[in-house]
Amino acid sequence: MECIRLANKTDISQLFTLYKSEGWHSFSEDKIRTLFNSSTYLVLENDGELIAFARCLTDGAVTTFVAELLVAKDYRGRGMGKLLIREIQTRMAGTRLELISEADGFYETVGFRAVGQGYRLA
């Protein structure tokens, strides 16, 4: 049975495994531990296994930025990402959700629309 909850530090190893499975090697276990101080991780688990997560940053009043959203490969196409987006909307109600992604097709299917262009330094 699937369950969405706030992550805790005991999830760091499983979060690291998911990051690594996507080739996102800039995320070490130490970096993830540090991110807990400034971010909100929502995790989706199935029978105790962490199968997806979203990491968000918010000011609580205007904007919530979705920094990462990742669904394990074996669970893609089953609506898990959509569940996480809905949970973010519920928990961060009253804020607009923003993100930068190259997976535009997915985000458009869950209601996002393109707004301008994003920029990054470094």
**Residues 8-65: pLDDT tens digits?**
999 999 999 999 999 999 999 999 999 999 999 999 999 989 999 999 999 999 999 9
Q: Residue 112 — very low, low, confident or very high, per pLDDT cuts 50/70/90? A: confident
Residue 118 near residue 99, CB atoms below 8 Å: no
Q: Quote the percentage of the chain above a pLDDT of 70.
A: 95
Residue 70 confidence (pLDDT): 96
In a domain, 82, yes or no: yes
In a domain, 34, yes or no: yes
In a domain, 64, yes or no: yes
Q: Residue 117 — very low, low, confident or very high, per pLDDT cuts 50/70/90? A: confident
In a domain, 78, yes or no: yes
Could you tell me which of 89, 13, 103 has the C-alpha nearest to residue 50? 13
Identify which has the larger pLDDT, 53 or 121. Answer: 53
Model pTM above 0.75: yes
Host domain of residue 63: 2-109
In a domain, 48, yes or no: yes
Q: What is the C-alpha to C-alpha distance for residues 66 and 40, in angstroms, rounded to an integer? A: 10
In a domain, 120, yes or no: no
Residue 17 confidence (pLDDT): 96
In a domain, 89, yes or no: yes
Q: How many domains are there within the chain?
A: 1
Report the CATH number at residue 54: 3.40.630.30
Pairing assessment for the beta strands 96-98 and 49-58 based on DSSP bridges: unpaired
In a domain, 117, yes or no: no
Q: What is the C-alpha to C-alpha distance for residues 80 and 63, in angstroms, rounded to an integer? A: 23
Q: What is the C-alpha to C-alpha distance for residues 84 and 112, in angstroms, rounded to an integer? A: 14
